[in-house]
Structure 1
Amino acid sequence: MNVRVRFLPDDVTIDAEVGEPLLDVADRAGVFIPTGCLMGTCHACTVDLDDGETIRACITSVPPKDEELTVHLFSDPTW
């Protein structure tokens, strides 16, 4: 099953497979998500989803729940 993943604010959209790591999807789309520990504890890769959920991209895969997933990127100048 494919999910269309949209990265904001740059409005970059790419198709992804359910279960594909979100960082891999972002990389294929040419979207940079900062990382630190790659285990979810440092919160460098924190992003927001359209439904208001805040996730850590390094430990999150594309979920099967929607046909489209919108990811709101923001940057922390300390990273």
Structure 2
Amino acid sequence: MSVQIQFVPDNVSTIAEVGEPLLQVADRAGVSIPTGCLMGSCHACEVDVEGETVCACISAVPPGCQHLTINLYVDPSW
């Protein structure tokens, strides 16, 4: 199932498949999400997905939605 993904505040949109890793979706869309450990421990890649903070490195496009908004954070310490 295809899901419309919108990255804000960049206002970049793309189509992704359920289960596709968020970092892969962002990369394909030309959106940069900072990473550190790539295991979810350092929280460098935290993004807000529909009001829930998740680590993009260990998260995927969830089932049950047609549209997903991903709010990119900027952490000045990374």
TM above 0.5, one fold? yes
Is 1:34 the counterpart of 2:57? The answer is: no
Q: Aligned residue for 1:2?
A: 2
Tell me the CA shift for residue 74 of structure 1. Answer: 1.2
1: CA distance, partners of 2:72 / 2:52: 13
**Residues 64-75 of structure 1 correspond to what in structure 2 (within 5 A)?**
64-75=63-74
SS in 1 for 2:34: coil
Q: Aligned residue for 2:49?
A: 49
Between Structure 1 and Structure 2, how many residues are aligned? Answer: 78
**1:33-56 deviations in whole A, cap 9, x for unaligned?**
000000000000001122x11100
2: CA distance, partners of 1:42 / 1:24: 19
Identity %: 64
SS in 2 for 1:24: helix
Q: Detail structure 1 runs of 4+ shifted over 3 Å in the superposition.
A: none
SS in 1 for 2:28: helix
Unaligned runs of 5+ in 1: none
2: CA distance, partners of 1:40 / 1:21: 13
